[in-house]
Amino acid sequence: MVTSYWPLFVKHFPENAALWGETSESSDYGFWIPTYAIDGLLTTVAHTKSETDPWWRVDLLKVYRVNRVTITNRNNFAYRINGAVIRIGNFLDVYNNTICGVISTLAASATATFSCGGMVGRYMIVHLPGDDKILTLAEVGVYGYLAGNSLLYSTFQY
């Protein structure tokens, strides 16, 4: 009898699920595009123009149970991220999704981890409420597992 654990890997994705997603943001500043937040480089950032309620979004392309989200701040102008809200859900509209966490402050180049407790959603959105705000993100991670695959919890034997 051989026990296989491969279904657990398929279900839990220890890797960053955002890497397979599609990114967008409320506006692009210059050549700083939304994909830069998942490129693995701390020298590039996703960057919006100065606007009211800027946001950045990753479409995970499938519905996940999100356990945690990581946000890495840029190496300068660190204060710009203060007050940003992280949301998980199935809606393109920012405010219809559930809040996972709020970034009160985050030092330059620092990474914060937010526990989302298995929130269900296809989209992870970071938005910054207020007028004349600029949202910049160095790196974003979304970790969890595909929702609705309860059979994959079991260990298969053959």
Give the domain CATH number at 67.
2.60.120.260
Is residue 76, in this structure, part of any structural domain at all?
A: yes
- Domain range for 86 is 22-146
Neighbours of 67 (CB within 10 A): 16
Q: Could you tell me which residues come within 8 angstroms of residue 150 by beta carbon, excluding any fewer than 6 positions away?
A: none
Query: In whole angstroms, what is the distance from residue 48 CA to residue 19 CA?
Result: 20
Mean pLDDT of the chain: 88
Is residue 8, in this structure, part of any structural domain at all?
A: no
Is residue 6, in this structure, part of any structural domain at all?
A: no
What is the average pLDDT across 110-130? 97
Is pLDDT of 98 > 70? yes
Is pLDDT of 7 > 80? no
Is residue 64, in this structure, part of any structural domain at all?
A: yes
Number of domains in the chain: 1
Neighbours of 155 (CB within 10 A): 11
Is residue 14, in this structure, part of any structural domain at all?
A: no
Is residue 155, in this structure, part of any structural domain at all?
A: no
Q: CA angle, 133 as apex, 125 and 33 as ends, to 5°?
A: 55
Q: Which of 47, 41, 109, 104 minimizes the C-alpha distance to 72?
A: 109
Is pLDDT of 23 > 70? yes
Is residue 15, in this structure, part of any structural domain at all?
A: no
Is residue 7, in this structure, part of any structural domain at all?
A: no
More confident residue, 2 or 146: 146
Q: Could you tell me which residues come within 8 angstroms of residue 117 by beta carbon, excluding any fewer than 6 positions away?
A: 67
Q: What is the pLDDT of residues 47-92, one digit of tens each?
A: 999 999 999 999 999 999 999 999 999 999 999 999 999 999 999 9
Query: In whole angstroms, what is the distance from residue 142 CA to residue 116 CA?
Result: 10
